[in-house]
Structure 1
Amino acid sequence: MNYTLHQLHVFLKVTQNQSITKAAELLHLTQPAVSIQLKNFQDQFDIPLTEIIGRKLYVTDFGKEIALAAEKIINEVTTINYKMQSYKGKLSGKLKISIVSTGKYIMPYFLSDFLKKNPEVELALDVTNKSKVIESLTKNEVDFSLVSVLPDTIKVSSTALMANKLFLVTNFDIQYPEKNYDQSILETLPIIYREKGSGTRHVMERFINVNQLKVRNKLELTGNEAVKQAVIAGLGCSIMPLIGIKNELKNGNLQIIPIKGFPIQSTWNLIWQKNKQFSPVASAYLKYIEENKAQIITDKFDLELLNA
């Protein structure tokens, strides 16, 4: 056999995505180039690695075993490269982080200077909902996760980053001149919910249940951006994190309805599996966060809004 590391990499991407087209996109190659590499790799085995059924690509049982071996080989080669960099006195490796969707408004600021100071570090940042974030942490697929609600299904350690304040917001179709509305106003408004599994929805529903409010679920949308655009368009109101709507508030696209008991507050936490064995990169990043998070908040965030 005379397969190359490149062929292993191509084959692994194809099996992970069960698609030549998707693998080509991720590898920044043309589809024919991926097909040729896959064929050249397959030709070295007497047993099929993949099969096409109804125009859909499937990985055979033998192919799955080869994919696992290919992943181990690629990981070992990557480790060798990182070790070579460490002997040169450079911090190198991959930092893997999963964050909830609203975390995209804050996490880049807690990463940018660290990555600038350590250019050999690779970042794998997955932005998804809370359920998938916790799943990736449970499977030990990431070093850290960013959440606004600590999980109760897995033992974690954590460090608090900053406050996460949520307000009831709407557009300007109707004016709300009073300074402090009663919580019962929530029962009269069409409320837009985030999808199930969202940390924002969890905080929102906890407030509603604790205060025994009968709130009408007007609409349910996936992602903070979708909810924000729906509120701006006048489809309803929603309880949203301040950090994700500060520009819309400044521009006059949204307004906060002042309500007794608001803002609802949670905390952005960077979490990791309890007793996790950190890589040098993960250890260095955690130390960086502990030493610099206060300064990052001061330098990068609008304290007037955060203290609202």
Structure 2
Amino acid sequence: MSIYQTQAKKTLQIEAAAITDLIERIDDDFDAACELLLGVSSRVVVIGMGKSGHIGSKIAATLASTGTPAFFVHPAEASHGDLGMITPQDAVLALSYSGETDEVLAILPIIKRQSVPLVAMTGNPQSTLAKQADVHLDISVAKEACPLNLAPTASSTATLALGDALAVAMLQAKGFNAEDFARSHPGGKLGKKLLTFTCDIMRTSDEIPMASPETTLLDTVMVMSQGGMGFVIIVDLAHQVMGVFTDGDLRRVLNKQRGGAIDLSAMCLADYMQNAATVIEETTLAAEALQLMEVRRISALPVVDANQRLVGAMNMHDLLRAGIA
């Protein structure tokens, strides 16, 4: 085993132990921190310097994306005007492993003067920051993964993990669900799946490959070719879906007529269409349309309104273009 692999495994073991040790510290103080942060009417303001600042920025982002409005404020910038971002309706989550970071301590008097609730995460329960906090969470580690025991490694990992624990615990308490998450991530894959409806991606008007039962197979082939969806939807005069005729149905018709003369202009859809058509409503999530196609092993669907009138059509390519499939 190389020296790199040896050190890498040792680092991961130390950091894993640091996180495991936190489990025993999930107690009433953790409950109090969650209730304090959930109880504010505005936002959670996360502060921290150096590596704690980088971790704090990520914690703030995780809180915000899981239903707890939050943002990060750099404590050094706070002393030069950014303290105006913190209001009495907010709560502050302060990170400092030593609990004695000058830039963080410098703004504590202002925070306390505004009666802003303060949760501190430190590695020293006897530190100034820990004693000034309304709730203190202990993130101390036995040692850093750094061989010199100097660079924040295990301690920053523990801080990040406890921040995630806070976010997830509050997410659960709020009843935050996948749809809520999607609203915070509309540009992501999950957001598209949970916020895109069939009406958003279906083809409409002249793009719908549509015919009547009296349409000849010759004309049907033309409609199917122009539509490029692999099927034609058969409707009555009220635009109710009566059935479908697919390219597979066309192949089967041609195979039956193999060896003989075929006059497609003398054959009409009523004699060859599938009467039991699978349809989907326009208000259905596109992800459900995908699931329906996979279960039924079909590649296209007629889309209907609440009165079961045909309003659109979609196929697997439309779902792929929309990023659903």
TM-score range, shorter chain: under 0.3
Structure with higher Rg: it is 2
TM-score (norm 1): 0.23
Q: Which has the higher strand share?
A: 1
